[in-house]
Amino acid sequence: MKPGIHPQYHKVVYMDMNSGFKFLSGSTKTSNETIEWEDGNTYPLLKVEVTSDTHPFYTGRQKFTDRGGRADRFNKKYNLKSTDE
């Protein structure tokens, strides 16, 4: 690798804003906020919206909404009969 052209890679703590779940990982991102981790060291804190702790794929708690398709919404909007009937 050429020196001086790559961003600095260091350890950071990611925190899920929905559940408060935290984990230590590596990243090139940094933050002004810091947190003391379980090992006694202080690391930059990166706040994220979704992690494996809250993502429906990993938790198995998916939300299914029955909104219907485009054609169904159009037919309902203009009071037309569905082609299924």
Determine if the pTM surpasses 0.75. no
* Residue 49 within a domain: yes
* Residue 56 within a domain: yes
Q: Residues, the chain, total?
A: 85
* Residue 84 within a domain: no
* Residue 82 within a domain: no
Domains in the chain: how many in total? 1
* Residue 45 within a domain: yes
Tokens 């935290």 found at: 22
* Residue 5 within a domain: no
Residue type, 50: V
Contact partners, residue 11, CB within 8 Å, separation at least 6: 24, 25, 26, 27, 43
How do residues 1-39 score in pLDDT, each as one tens digit?
788 899 999 999 999 988 889 999 999 999 999 999 999
* Residue 42 within a domain: yes
* Domain ranges, residue 35: 10-77
